[in-house]
Amino acid sequence: MRKWRLMITTLPFVAGVTVLKLVLDKVVGFTGVVEFSDVGIVLTGGVFLLGFMLAGTMADYKEAEKIPGEVATTLETIEEIFVLAATGRPALKLPELRRQVLGLVDDIKAWVLKKKATAEMFAAMTRMTGTIRQLEGSGAGPYASRAVPQVLMLRKNLQRIDVISKTGFLPPAYALLEVLLAMILALLLVAKFKSLIAEVILVPFVTLVNVYMLRLIKDVDDPFDYQPDGSHKGGAEVEFYPLDDYRERLAKRLDEGG
């Protein structure tokens, strides 16, 4: 049902415009003031702008698709560095180090689900930096030097998630697109059609394409729009299963006493 959610929630808009057009035509007797064929240039402008906006948001979306895997890979790399650092060093307790990584995984996932603020997530990153300092104090300085770049990469990816989620793609272009969409819907209501069949086909078709695409672009523009319960708010959210899969592996290693 996820792929149909956006379509199903768009249909009421389509039905509303179609019914309003039929009421104006058959009840009020207003058959229109401009031929439908004369509004083609406005429709073409709308299609061009929709394509431009979709291409721009898709570029960020394709980048966002890579981030969960990169976050999970970086966290697992930090864990492996901890394993190497703890080998032969009784002062470093591997289960405790792994629990620190597990706690960071949970903090990141809670932040993605908007259960924690951005400041809390970055505070968890700072605690991880403190854990890395413990390696240096325990004689594992070379491993601490390896872990620091991984924390930097993790911080950059999380910051990128925050920017993508909070920053819309060209707000002035959104304003133009929304105004153009309103013009298209208004022209549909005042347009003349050669027959009733053409009217009941073209009005819902044009409305569906334009309204659906506008909503799709806004959905794609924030690929990390999750509900606190983990459900997708829209239909184009990036999946975080790489992070969930890594957490399962890490938890299993901790359960086994490693």
Q: Model confidence over 129-149: pLDDT tens digits?
A: 988 988 888 888 899 999 999
Mean pLDDT of the region 21-49: 87
Q: Which of 14-23, 124-133, 161-170, 187-196 is predicted with the least confidence, judged by mean pLDDT? A: 161-170
Mean pLDDT of the region 104-132: 92
Mean pLDDT of the region 34-40: 85
Residues 240 and 132: their CA atoms lie apart, in Å, by 26
**Would you state the pLDDT for residue 208?**
95
Q: How many CA atoms lie within 13 A of 191 on its CB side?
A: 26
Among residues of the chain, what percentage have pLDDT more than 90? 55
- Residue 12 CB partners (closer than 8 Å, separation 6+): none
Nearest to 56 by CA among 208, 145, 171: 171
Residues 219 and 1: their CA atoms lie apart, in Å, by 16
Mean pLDDT of the region 83-102: 91
Distances (CA, A) of 11 to 15, 37, 42, 121: 6, 25, 22, 39
Domain that holds residue 122: 2-255
- Residue 238 CB partners (closer than 8 Å, separation 6+): 61, 64, 65, 67, 68, 223, 224
Question: How many domains does the chain contain in total?
Answer: 1
Q: How much is the mean pLDDT over the chain?
A: 90
Task: Please work out, in degrees rounded to the nearest 5, the angle formed at the alpha carbon of residue 224 by the alpha carbons of 76 and 216.
Answer: 140
Q: Report pLDDT digits (tens) over 224-236.
A: 888 888 777 777 8
Give the chain's radius of gyration (CA, Å).
26
Going by the DSSP 8-state scheme, the letter that residue 238 receives in this structure is P
State both tokens at 225.
């729009």
Nearest to 245 by CA among 9, 76, 35: 76
Q: Report pLDDT digits (tens) over 199-230.
A: 999 999 999 999 999 999 988 888 888 888 87
Mean pLDDT of the region 55-68: 89
Mean pLDDT of the region 22-26: 90
**Would you state the pLDDT for residue 60?**
84
pTM above threshold 0.85 = no
Is the pLDDT assigned to residue 192 strictly greater than 70?
Answer: yes
